[in-house]
């Protein structure tokens, strides 16, 4: 039976997402940056709103996420929090804002006070101590592995990660270390579908995929990609506005297709 998207009737929490994973229900995430879009996403049944440092490229005109500051992030977290009272709001810690445990504590608390319910940071096992300290102090964490855009200069571009055996082993190791450290969610970006499936099956915490196949517990797309606003959209994205007459319709179609495992399709994944 097709899923019909409706407004959320109760507040989404980490426990909500854990229960959905246990019951095999997909949840939906959208990266967006303002109050009106947040309200529309909530009304369409989106459970998680990511205020991503992707705003550097989608809103501010930078060529990467590296120039994004804490002030940018706080401004947009505050805006999104004013547009939604039921979605779980996740805020990105931007480039070099969590280089040390003290930096992470200070800046994560600023995002939480701005309205985030969880912070997201990029990096593998080197982040374990930071994740542990944040978790111990009551700050939920989403750990982001695979293609981590803040490291684009180190990677030499936006490249799929974990395609060879060594890379795959490293990502699996990082996932397990971060879960043990206290991460509440694991985000996998641009990872081969089979590897993302294996990681998801071995994690007790939910996984969110973007360019990581359809077997993750959730999917995330940037609102600009959903609405066809990206001049050169990535392989893993889809313009849902083409099939809909308006923005709420596009968001509703995205929710429906994720819930029914129709998105991502084969053309959106890496093998």
Segment 167-222, tens digit of pLDDT:
999 999 999 999 999 999 999 999 999 999 999 999 999 999 999 999 999 999 99
- 234-244 pLDDT, tens digit each: 999 999 999 89
Is residue 243 domain-resident?
Answer: yes
With respect to residue 6, please indicate whether it lies within any of the assigned structural domains.
Answer: no
What is the tens place of the pLDDT at every residue in 117-143?
999 999 999 999 999 999 999 999 999
**pLDDT at position 3 over 50:** no
Q: What is the pLDDT of residue 201?
A: 98
Dihedral in degrees, nearest 10, Cα atoms 172, 209, 49, 91:
30
- Dist. CA 262–CA 137, nearest whole Å: 39
Domain assignment present for residue 46? The answer is: yes
Range of the domain at 111: 14-268
Predicted confidence (pLDDT) at residue 72 exceeds the cutoff of 70: yes
In a domain, 60, yes or no: yes
Strands 48-51 and 141-146, bridge-based pairing: unpaired
What average pLDDT does range 68-97 have in this prediction?
Answer: 98
Residue 241: partners with Cβ closer than 8 Å, 6 or more residues away = 226, 227, 228, 247, 249, 250
Q: Which residues are catalytic?
A: 189
Q: What's the CA gap between 124 and 171, in Å, rounded? A: 8
CA proximity to 209, closest of 173, 240, 175: 175
| 189 within a domain of the structure (yes/no) | yes
The secondary structure of residue 199, as a DSSP letter, is: H
Candidates 153, 172, 154; CA nearest to 162 is: 172
Mean pLDDT to the nearest integer, 157-167: 79
Rounded average pLDDT over 23-36: 98
In this structure, is residue 3 part of a structural domain?
no
Which residues, in sequence order, are CB contacts of 217 under 8 Å at separation 6+?
A: 17, 20, 21, 26, 27, 200, 206, 207, 208
Q: Give the Cβ contact number of residue 115 at 10 Å.
A: 18
Overall domain count for the chain: 1
What residues are paired with 210 via a beta bridge? Answer: 189
Rounded distance, CA 222 to CA 120, Å? 15
Triad 96, 59, 266: Cα angle to 5° = 90
Residue 1: pLDDT over 50: no
Nearest to 50 by CA among 193, 175, 168, 226: 226
Q: Is residue 1 included in any domain, yes or no?
A: no
Q: pLDDT over 70 for what percent of the chain? A: 96
In this prediction the pTM is 0.94
Nearest CA to 148 out of 168, 176, 122 is that of: 122
Residue 94: beta bridge partners?
none
Task: Write the CATH number for 27.
Answer: 3.20.20.60
Confidence band (pLDDT; 50, 70, 90) for 98? Answer: very high
- Kindly state whether residue 4 falls inside one of the protein's structural domains: no
């Amino acid at each position: 039976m097709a899923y019909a998207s409706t407004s959320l009737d109760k507040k989404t929490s980490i426990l909500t997402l854990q229960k959905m994973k246990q019951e095999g229900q997909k949840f939906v995430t959208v990266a967006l940056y303002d109050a009106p879009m947040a309200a529309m996403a909530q009304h369409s049944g989106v459970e998680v709103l990511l205020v991503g440092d992707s705003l550097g490229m989608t809103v501010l005109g930078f060529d990467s996420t590296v120039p994004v500051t804490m002030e940018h992030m706080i401004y947009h977290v505050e805006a999104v929090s004013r547009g939604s009272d039921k979605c779980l709001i996740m805020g990105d810690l931007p480039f070099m804002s969590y280089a040390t445990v003290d930096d992470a504590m200070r800046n994560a608390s600023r995002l939480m006070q701005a309205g985030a319910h969880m912070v997201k940071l990029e990096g593998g096992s080197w982040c374990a101590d930071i994740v542990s300290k944040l978790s111990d102090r009551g700050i939920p964490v989403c750990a982001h592995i695979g293609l981590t855009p803040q490291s684009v200069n180190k990677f030499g571009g936006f490249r799929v990660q974990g395609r060879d055996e060594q890379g795959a082993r490293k990502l699996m190791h990082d996932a397990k270390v971060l879960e043990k450290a206290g991460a509440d969610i694991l985000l996998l970006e641009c990872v081969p579908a089979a590897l993302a499936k294996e990681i998801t099956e071995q994690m007790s915490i939910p996984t969110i995929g973007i360019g990581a196949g359809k077997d993750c517990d959730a999917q995330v797309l940037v609102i600009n990609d959903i609405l066809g606003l990206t001049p050169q959209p990535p392989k893993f994205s889809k313009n849902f506005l083409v099939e809909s007459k308006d923005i709420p319709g596009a968001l509703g179609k995205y929710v429906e297709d994720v819930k029914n495992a129709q998105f991502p399709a084969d053309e959106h994944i890496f093998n």
